[in-house]
Structure 1
Amino acid sequence: MATSFNEQFDQHGAWRREFALRLKLLSEWLKDHELLDAAVEERLRRLEGSMRSDKVMVAFVAEFSRGKSELINAIFFAGYKRRIMPASAGRTTMCPTELGYDADVPPCLRLLPIETRLHMQPLMEWRMVPEKWTRIDLDVNDPAQLAKAFEKVAEVVRVTKDDAKALGFWHDDTPEDNPPLGSDGLVEVPKWRHALINIAHPLLKQGLVILDTPGLNAIGAEPELTVNLIPQAHAVVFILAADTGVTKSDLAIWREHLIAEDADTDARLVVLNKIDTMWDSLSTPIQVQAQIDRQRATTAEILGLQVEQVIPVSAQKGLVAKVNDDMELLQASRLPVLEQALSQGVMGQRQKILRSAVSGSIGDLRLEATRVIQIRRRDLAEQMVELKGLRGKNTSVIKHMRARIEQEQGDFDASGAKIHAVRSVHLKLLREVFSLLGNSTLKTEMTELTTALRQPGIKLGVRKAYSETFDRLRAGLRKAATTSADIQSMLTGTFKQLNAEYGFSLQAPREPELARYERDLDLVERSHNQYLGMSNALRLAQPEFADRLVRALATRLRVIYESALGEVELWNKSAAAQLDAQLRERRRNFGRRIEAIERIQQAASGLDDRISEIESQEATLDQLDAKLAELTAHLTSTSVSAGAANSDSALKQA
């Protein structure tokens, strides 16, 4: 049988853990050999952090009664030998539910009351206020207790029509979308706004995050879900009912929330669930298959996908088959086909991105460490030439040599003011970049957008207000990129001058690629424009809803700007670390040269001894360089199983 999603994710988790361990050992090796300057240490810290905290989010999206929670049970929780997520008739997920694992938090279910929608804080801020959440502790070894606790996500509460309107579930302008009004004049709405489930499930411990979303009405009412969580998911599984195909509300979810202009449809899988309803005893298996194939082809055509991206399954039969170890029924449910598509699509793409990032970072790290080795090699070569030139010379020549070295050292120490002046200009320009990418700039833009959206009659000008905001944000990023280019030119010129004057081997580090953050802005703008252009126009006329949307936008933009700022900071640190390393090595070099002269003055054999020492040190540097290449090559190896044993052996020997 092909590798299932669970097995593929296990392999991904093992690769991440193996990589993090080898990275830690490499860090210790670099530290032991004094190759760990500030820039190298920062790259190691970021790499290790990204590997340990790497998350893979899979969002499950569907209208009500499509079998979404049952599908989650079948793929991820069949090992409990029962339903864990509520999926029986009349019980379904009513609020967005995230399942993940945080080792610092005990196993628990946290529920955010629906009333928090009356406040303006985005979900990200509510996460930082644990006392506002209702918490239920979980026993991960008791499936019955887990299932009972998870039923909470299906809870509803009855409220007045005015309260439903304030919470975003009732709109006078679109009565067809409103929930039914009871005979008592009350409306049924979700009791909870958001749920966070923290359990030590094997897949969740390895970084999987499952996002279970409610139906269309609930999705549209929560802008942060639509413009933040779903667009950032690494894969979206959209569930339809096989017997009904694409309904009007299904199509609304697909067009309004899941497909944006230029979207990567490869990360979208459509599941035609409940194919068991087509298992008709009056039809032959061939006739049943033909009916499923027609529904699959029609669905792919309507949604604009390849037929291979539409996968017919029976989640219910798949769960029953796994619980009862019925391989024949499991094959008939087609669940393994979906698991294989998830493993190849989600995990394959995620690993490709992560390994590409790792390869680039390790290459930069190796370059930084190699540069320190080269500085030491060059200094040894200079000493060797100097010492060999003293062979056969008398005492006065040696004294003259010492005086010349001390003069060079004095001149070098005096150059500190010039280097400090260069750094001052560099930091002044850098502060401009930090200001353009800082929180205060973003906060100002979001305040201006909020003010614009509160203008009377803004309903028809919402797109324009957003467009102007993103234009300003892009202009700011471009200005930051231009200033960065100026700094890069200055660094290149300054480093060239210092190399000529002091024999350094400085090289300006690679300039930050801020253009890619502009592309990220484009993606965010597209997802918001999509949201603005649909049936939410009436909601956007309500100031409180517009405020929620802006806060959701600010949360996502903050991530982009913090990433850009981090890249600029690492660039700056790489330049400063190079200069610091070469200054430090040059001062050490002066000390070693004077020490060598003293030894030569004290004993006739001192010269030959010192030359032998330098030759030995040169050989040691060659070994260091070879070991660095070996260790970094192990880290960039694409095959964990092939390289792990050799890597561990190499590190132990080092």
Structure 2
Amino acid sequence: MRNLEFKEKMHEYSQWRANLVQAIEMYQQWLVRYGMDDAHRTNTLLNILSSLKNDRITLAFVAEFSRGKTELINAMFFAESGVRLLPSSPGRTTMSPTEIFYDAEGGSYIRLLNIESRLEDMSLAEFKTMPERWTKFELNPNSPTQMQAVFKELIATKKVNKELADKLGLWNEREAATQGSINPDSVEIPCWRHALISFPHPLLKEGLSIIDTPGLNALGTEPELTLNMLPSAQAIVFMLAADTGVTKSDLEIWLNHINRARSAKKQGLAVVMNKIDAMWDDLGGNTDYDRAIKSQIKASATILKIDEESIFPLSAKQALLAKIKGDAELLKRSRISGLEGYLANDILREKRNIMAATVMRDIGGLVNESINLTSTALTHATEQLEEFRKVDFHNQDMTGKLMAETRDRQSVYMANVENFQSSRRVFIVQAKMLIDSFSDEKINDVISVARHDITKSLTTVGMKQNIRKLFDDLRDMLQDSSDITNETRRLVKAIHKKFKDEYGFKEIEPKLFDIKKYQIELEQVFEEGEIFRTSTKVTMTEQHIVVDKLYSTLILKARNILKQAHDDAIAWSNSALSPLARQIKDHKKQIEGRLQMLRKINESKGTVAENIAALEAEVAPLKRQRDELAIMVKSMQLENQVGESG
């Protein structure tokens, strides 16, 4: 399978996403056109649209130094430049984590964050919002030679005294001693901490994003990379070298960085066994060559505890050469097509399914409600038309009786409104208790105490106790919120049941707030932190900079989870009773419409047939409204996932 197919699959996904955006925008306009929009619906749809428009498919390439990772990126995505675009020659590999994407507004550039920024108490995410802190180089996409020259900055190093290197977490006397290193006066370190590259490659324009992570040293000293960026990727490509198999440092990366990131988000994983060209043996023939590759795959799969089918043997170097030269036979021999096929099919299909499920979760309730309201309105209008066709409107007593019945319905409606307002007042009080249970003030109090205690205690035991205490306190906070959530859920169910049983409203399964997912996410953060803290790199060095970055990252992740819970609780409380409110509003509209029709017929000097024709004309727009919605539901490809439109 050629890279062209990956491009085609990526384009298909991009086109599907664009069509979905168009359908949702049409639905938004439909709601406005028929007076069914409100603040909650508008906000929900705008959030979905923003998520779709900014969506990226991220592939993270992870490996120890000299595994050919950057060469594989060159072979898969930049071979058409005709040169080795990213520096990947022996001894000349990228030194800092690099993100490659397309920034339509910013153009083509490379931005580099200096290594000394690690001494500041700010996350990479925060630095990304501060362009003035980055060194920027413009790129000329039409000049591969110019870009090659600029990209050499990715491998730039400098020498600093060992005290500064130690502070930066890039050298440690104890670790050096265990490796038999000579105690130097100066240490060579990377010039840059992180790189951002915007480049107008067709795949990047379609929404692909690439993360290149350089070795165990970067992974072991940048917790944010391991705990945030890798878990957010759709797929991780983990690389081994065919001539070495799984080394000690490979296994360290696998156990402490890859396994956790993969299990947390359940995203795809491909293990690449690169440099199979080192095993090419023209004298031994293909049989011995294939046997050697299979043996290495089997041994690696056993160590990593994965299926052999998850390992893709290839030669990135030969694949790049084959693509640049247009050598089909060499490309086939490089075996890169297996990996490209996996990414083109499995990963993109999985991403599309995840995105469709997310859209369905967020928009399905709104669409179902629109279908129900539209269907109910049409059914009511049709039934009323049939009823009026059978009525003798020349009989004044009959017309008066119908008007009296309708006014009685109006009185019942007013009682409905009064009861609803009373129920809503009770709900608002309960919902406020839920929202306040994880307010910013409460979270800040817990975190500030923990940060103070962690800063004072930098021993392994002390750190472990303090971080455990922090998460115990956060767990207790969520448990209190959970108790309030259960009370709030019971109240919402009771209100819906009351209006169904007492007033005959259509049964709607209320959307209930669920705090369990935030509790699970919080536990995952704690477990990730424990695995990172006990990794060989951190245990061996116990460097202040690494420990500080670790707990800053954990605290930021925990805070974001609780903030999301807080925001979701607010959004839910604003929308929990909206379906009932809209049913009441629609009921009012139906009653007023019926009274208006009866007055019109009673006061009309026309024939009964003319009045019936006028009523038929009232039904036509409702049919059009229903049919338009059905078309949009089909365009969103939700027709098999939402309720029947009737």
Task: Calculate the aligned-residue CA RMSD, in Å.
Answer: 3.2
Indicate the percent of aligned positions where both proteins have the same amino acid: 31
For structure 2, which runs of at least 5 residues remain unmatched after alignment?
641-646
Matched, 1:61 2:62: yes
The aligned amino acid for 1:548 is K
Deviation per CA, 1:143-162: give whole Å up to 9, x if none.
22222222211111211111
- 2:366 alignment partner in structure 1: 365
Matched, 1:343 2:344: yes
Matches within 5 A, 1:376-525: 376-377=377-378, 380=381, 391=392, 395=396, 409=410, 412=413, 418-456=419-457, 458-499=459-500, 504-505=505-506, 507-525=508-526
What's the offset of the Cα at 1:289?
A: 2.1
- 2:633 alignment partner in structure 1: 632
- 1:560 alignment partner in structure 2: 561
Q: Which moved more, 1:73-82 or 1:104-113?
A: 104-113
Alpha carbons of structure 1 residues 426 and 500: separation in structure 2 relative to 1, 3 Å = same
Alpha carbons of structure 1 residues 520 and 74: separation in structure 2 relative to 1, 3 Å = same
Mapped partners of 1:601, 1:478: distance in 2: 62
The aligned amino acid for 1:599 is K
Matches within 5 A, 1:260-339: 260=260, 263=263, 267-339=268-340
Mapped partners of 2:462, 2:156: distance in 1: 38
For structure 1, which runs of at least 5 residues remain unmatched after alignment?
640-654
Alpha carbons of structure 1 residues 103 and 481: separation in structure 2 relative to 1, 3 Å = farther
The aligned amino acid for 2:466 is A
- 1:215 alignment partner in structure 2: 215
Contact 1:231-1:527 within 8 A present in 2 as well: no
Mapped partners of 2:489, 2:638: distance in 1: 32
Deviation per CA, 1:146-194: give whole Å up to 9, x if none.
22222211111211111001111122332257896686x2111111111
Q: Which moved more, 1:147-156 or 1:259-268?
A: 259-268
Q: SS in structure 2 opposite 1:263?
A: helix
- 1:32 alignment partner in structure 2: 33
What's the offset of the Cα at 1:485?
A: 3.3
TM-score normalised to the size of structure 2? Answer: 0.89
What's the offset of the Cα at 1:535?
A: 2.6
Alpha carbons of structure 1 residues 275 and 452: separation in structure 2 relative to 1, 3 Å = same
What's the offset of the Cα at 1:508?
A: 4.9
What's the offset of the Cα at 1:411?
A: 7.1
Q: SS in structure 2 opposite 1:294?
A: helix
Alpha carbons of structure 1 residues 79 and 586: separation in structure 2 relative to 1, 3 Å = same
- 1:642 alignment partner in structure 2: none
Contact 2:231-2:262 within 8 A present in 1 as well: no
What's the offset of the Cα at 1:10?
A: 2.5
Mapped partners of 1:181, 1:202: distance in 2: 48
Q: SS in structure 1 opposite 2:50?
A: helix
Mapped partners of 1:190, 1:179: distance in 2: 22
Contact 1:95-1:190 within 8 A present in 2 as well: yes
Q: Which moved more, 1:157-166 or 1:232-241?
A: 232-241
What's the offset of the Cα at 1:417?
A: 5.4
Matched, 1:129 2:130: yes
Q: SS in structure 1 opposite 2:173?
A: coil
- 1:117 alignment partner in structure 2: 118
Alpha carbons of structure 1 residues 600 and 283: separation in structure 2 relative to 1, 3 Å = closer
What's the offset of the Cα at 1:616?
A: 4.3
What's the offset of the Cα at 1:37?
A: 4.3
Deviation per CA, 1:444-463: give whole Å up to 9, x if none.
44323323323446412433
What's the offset of the Cα at 1:123?
A: 0.9
How many pairs does the alignment contain?
A: 638
What's the offset of the Cα at 1:136?
A: 1.3
What's the offset of the Cα at 1:73?
A: 0.3
Contact 2:438-2:481 within 8 A present in 1 as well: yes
Mapped partners of 2:19, 2:567: distance in 1: 26
TM-score normalised to the size of structure 1? Answer: 0.88
What's the offset of the Cα at 1:318?
A: 0.3
Deviation per CA, 1:24-80: give whole Å up to 9, x if none.
233333433334444443443333222222222211111111111111100111121
Alpha carbons of structure 1 residues 616 and 500: separation in structure 2 relative to 1, 3 Å = farther
Mapped partners of 1:177, 1:506: distance in 2: 70
Mapped partners of 2:178, 2:524: distance in 1: 29
- 1:230 alignment partner in structure 2: 230
Alpha carbons of structure 1 residues 160 and 312: separation in structure 2 relative to 1, 3 Å = same
Mapped partners of 1:456, 1:554: distance in 2: 16
Mapped partners of 1:469, 1:450: distance in 2: 9
Contact 2:60-2:237 within 8 A present in 1 as well: yes
Mapped partners of 2:509, 2:486: distance in 1: 12
Mapped partners of 1:44, 1:554: distance in 2: 31
Contact 1:169-1:179 within 8 A present in 2 as well: no
